Every structure is written in C-alpha cells, then in structure tokens.
Amino acid sequence: MLLSKGYLEVDIDPALDLVKEINYLKKEKRAVILAHYYQNPDIQDIADYIGDSLGLAQQAEKTEADIILFAGVHFMAETAKILNPTKKVLIPDLKAGCSLADSCPPQKFSDFKAQHPNHIVLTYINCTADIKALSDVIVTSTNAVKIVQSFPKDQAIIFAPDKNLGAYINKKTGRNMILWDGACMVHEIFSLEKLIKLKAQHSKALVLAHPECEAHILEYAHFIGSTTAILNYSKKSDAQEFIVLTETGIIHQMQKASPSKTFIPAPPNNNCACNDCPHMKLNTLEKIYLALKYEQPELLMSNELIEKSKAPINKMLELSAKFGL
C-alpha cells in the first residue's frame, strides 16, 4: 500500500461493485460521506450529505458517525476535523488542494495583518487552518454579506483570501474592506466574450453566478450566490434555461431537481466546454472505496492548531444560526 501520490495505490478487482462496497463499508464502520457539489456525479450519488461549505461545516460539527469521509478538498476536511476533532477524518486524495487557499501563505498573511493594525480579520473558509488561526471570523459565500453587515460601518476590516468575493461584498455592503490579492483558478477563467455570445444564443436564459467570479462577469448575472443559493434559485425560478457560472459539478443537482429545465455551463477562456476544478475532481469512487476500507489517508492536525483555528469558525456558526442560515 502506497500513499506517495496522496492516495492509496492498491489494485481493485474491476468486477467489484464499488457503490455496493462503499455502502457496506459505510454501515460497517459507522462512516458518513460528506460531499461538496463540485464532486463528480457518481460521488454525489453515494454521499450522505451534499452541500456548500457552510452546510458541510454544520454537518461535520453535528455528525455522530465515527468516521467522516470528506469528498471535497483539503481545507474542507480540515474544517471538519477542527469542528469534530474526536472523529477520524478521511480524505480520498490528500493532494486535493485549492488554488485560492494556496494564494494565501501564512507568513505573508501575518505580515499583511501586521501592516493593518486596528483591523479585524474576516476570512473566507477557503483557506488553510493556519490562516483561520490568524482570523477573527470565518465566512462562506452564504453568510459573508450578513456577517460583514453585523459589524459597525466604521469597523476597519481585512478580507482574505478571495479578492473577487471581497470586492462583491464591498459593493453589496458599501464597505471598504482591505482585500488580500487571492483568487480561485476556476472562477477566474470564465470568458466574457463567450458568455456574451452564449447569452445572445439563449436570450431567455437566466445567468446564475458564484461571487468568486470577477466583477466584469458578475455584471451579466441575474442572480449571484453560493452553490446552494444558485441551486435553490434554479428550483424556484419559472425560467426554463440557465447559464451557470460556477464549477460544473453543481449542474448534477440542478438537473436532478428540475429535469425539464436546461442548464448550460458557461465556458472558460480555454478550449474546454466545461469548467471543472482540477482539485475537486481528483476524488474518485475508487479512492473513496480504498480510503474507507483501509481508513487512509487520514487528515491529522495538531491539537494546538485545532484550538487556534476553532474560535473563528465557531463565531461564524454562531452568527449563521442567529441569521437563520
């Protein structure tokens, strides 16, 4: 058994029914599978809970399972461990990272923070535990606007690591938060030119966008929100066609909820038709099966880091509960 590539390398009998085996292992080991909407459809279909970053954190905190298998990326599994440290947290591929989290190295962020005394630090959940430990409150795309608005208008704020989400919140709230210069590789490569063409071809389609997209793209959106908010909007809307400006994985749930509606993934500025997150898409059913069977790779963290990064996440969960989110 090797973990050198970040996941277990064990030959699997091609005749094995992976879905059946995963369901059996889940029961036998009292494990729960939490999956983000950006996972491949086959993974979403075996998950016990599928959600956005806030929903996944809330589920991780309250689960009574012995094992949490996190089908998402590293910072999400870390958040689950921080919130429920006595559980064993498995991640199918340890190399499933995040370009946005990587854009904010702890030492540089610590220096940035020191340059802005008297500022509180609000941080998007898409960051490492080291960055969370340097923050006052964590936010997600679901609660960010409400959490920012809960502070007095004259409160000086640093927002990290996503400059696009930060700019969107500044616009929505009229604040002037100082933004860390980070971005998500998936949401930054949508092509404005192709979007305009697509809109012309589908004149009745509504454009739904995630706030990690750049401002010039968000200008064309009929609705901006987290993955869960985009999904809910598409369910309730009377429109029949939607152009979706976020990672394509979400379309699986949108299509399941509204089979007669048409969902068009907005194209990136390269030769691909869809916009997949290369980190999220490292997870596979095979890796999930092996992770559950051998209980490896396990996400491990020091107690010190868990303690330091817990307070700002708990603050977010408290505020979210207060806002009914």
**Binder of ligand SF4 out of 138, 221, 280, 290 (CB under 6 A):** 280
- The residue within the footprint of ligand 13P, chosen from 128, 141, 234, 309 (CB under 6 A), is 141
Q: Does residue 126 touch ligand 13P according to CB under 6 A? A: yes
> Which of ligand SF4, ligand 13P, none has residue 279 at its interface (CB below 5 to 8 Å by kind)?
ligand SF4
For the bound state, the minimum distance from the C-beta of residue 35 to ligand 13P, rounded and expressed in Å, comes to: 11
Contact between 188 and ligand 13P (CB under 6 A)?
Answer: no
Copy the structure tokens of residue 291: 């992770």
Q: Which of residues 25-44 bind ligand SF4 (CB under 6 A)?
A: 38
| Residue 73 binds to ligand SF4 (criterion: CB under 6 A) | yes
**78 lies in the binding site for ligand SF4 (CB under 6 A):** no
Quick one: which of 39, 44, 226, 320 contacts ligand 13P (CB under 6 A)? 226
Q: Which residue has the tokens 């589908």?
A: 202
* Residues 93/7, Cβ–Cβ less than 8 Å: yes
Q: From residue 238 to residue 267, what is the string marking binding to ligand SF4 with x (rule CB under 6 A)?
A: ---------x--------------------
Q: Does 123 bind ligand 13P (CB under 6 A)?
A: no
Q: Does 309 bind ligand SF4 (CB under 6 A)?
A: no
Among 39, 44, 53, 143, contact with ligand 13P (rule: CB under 6 A): 53
* Closest distance to ligand SF4 from the beta carbon of 100 (Å): 4
Smallest separation, CB 210 to ligand 13P (Å): 6
- Is 140 near ligand 13P (CB under 6 A)? yes
Quote the least distance from Cβ 22 to ligand 13P, whole Å: 23
- From the list 34, 35, 43, 52, which residue makes contact with ligand 13P (rule: CB under 6 A)? 52
- Helical packing angle, 285-294 and 18-28, nearest 10°: 30
Q: Show the 3-state SS of the chain.
A: CCCCCCCCCCCCCCCCCHHHHHHHHHHHCCEEEEEECCCCHHHHHHCCEEECHHHHHHHHHHCCCCEEEEECCHHHHHHHHHHCCCCEEECCCCCCCCHHHHCCCHHHHHHHHHCCCCCEEEEECCCCHHHHHCCCEEECCCCHHHHHHCCCCCCCEEEECEHHHHHHHHHHHCCCCEECCECCCCCCCECHHHHHHHHHHCCCCEEEECCCCCHHHHCCCCEECCHHHHHHHHHHCCCCEEEEECCCCHHHHHHHHCCCCEEEECCECCCCCCCCCCCHHHCCHHHHHHHHHHCCCECCCCHHHHHHHHHHHHHHHHHHHHCCC
Q: Is 227 in the site for ligand 13P (CB under 6 A)?
A: yes
Residues that bind ligand SF4 (CB under 6 A): 38, 73, 98-100, 126, 184-186, 247, 277, 279-280
List interacting residues with ligand 13P (CB under 6 A): 37, 52-53, 126, 140-141, 184, 210, 212, 226-227
